Amino acid sequence: NAGVTQTPKFQVLKTGQSMTLQCAQDMNHEYMSWYRQDPGMGLRLIHYSVGAGITDQGEVPNGYNVSRSTTEDFPLRLLSAAPSQTSVYFCASSPGPSYEQYFGPGTRLTVT
């Protein structure tokens, strides 16, 4: 089992560029989520999904888009990158939100 994988590990974008952060899991988990981690702010939920075809917004969804076409994959799209989106992004999966979350290794994104 690879667990939860995220690509890329590092990315530098210019303001206004778009990109997709990839997240995949091989544990057949229904629940997947995206968080951003900023100094002094802890982990903040961006979007989550309770199963293929179902997504919902978290605490800080603006500027991000998600879709869940398969159980395994949950990509996060930045539509027009802004410096405020400079952060470390973590993807997590689990059988459900009342089960322990398995986190990916993170993607460090810098927007200049």
Partner 1 sequence: ILNVEQSPQSLHVQEGDSTNFTCSFPSSNFYALHWYRWETAKSPEALFVMTLNGDEKKKGRISATLNTKEGYSYLYIKGSQPEDSATYLCALRGGADGLTFGKGTHLIIQP
Query: Among 8, 59, 77, 110, which residue interacts with partner 1 (rule: CB under 8 A)?
Result: 59
Name the token pair of 112. Answer: 């200049």
Query: Shortest Cβ distance from residue 103 to partner 1 (Å)?
Result: 4
d(CA 51, CA 73): 10
Q: CB of 28: closest distance to partner 1 in angstroms?
A: 18
Minimum CB separation of residue 12 from partner 1 in Å reads 19
Phi-psi region of 22 (alpha: psi -120 to 50; beta: other; left: phi over 0): beta
Binding mask 5-44 for partner 1 (x = CB under 8 A): --------------------------x-x-x----xxxxx
Q: Which is nearer to partner 1, 2 or 100 (CB)?
A: 100
The residues with which 20 forms a beta bridge, in sequence order, are 77
Spatial distance between the Cα atoms of 73 and 78, rounded to a whole number of angstroms: 16
Work out how close the CB of 90 gets to partner 1 at its nearest, in angstroms, rounded to a whole number: 7
User: Could you tell me which residues come within 8 angstroms of residue 43 by beta carbon, excluding any fewer than 6 positions away?
Assistant: 35, 36, 37, 90
The contact set with partner 1 (CB under 8 A) reads 31, 33, 35, 40-45, 48, 50, 56, 58-59, 90, 97-106
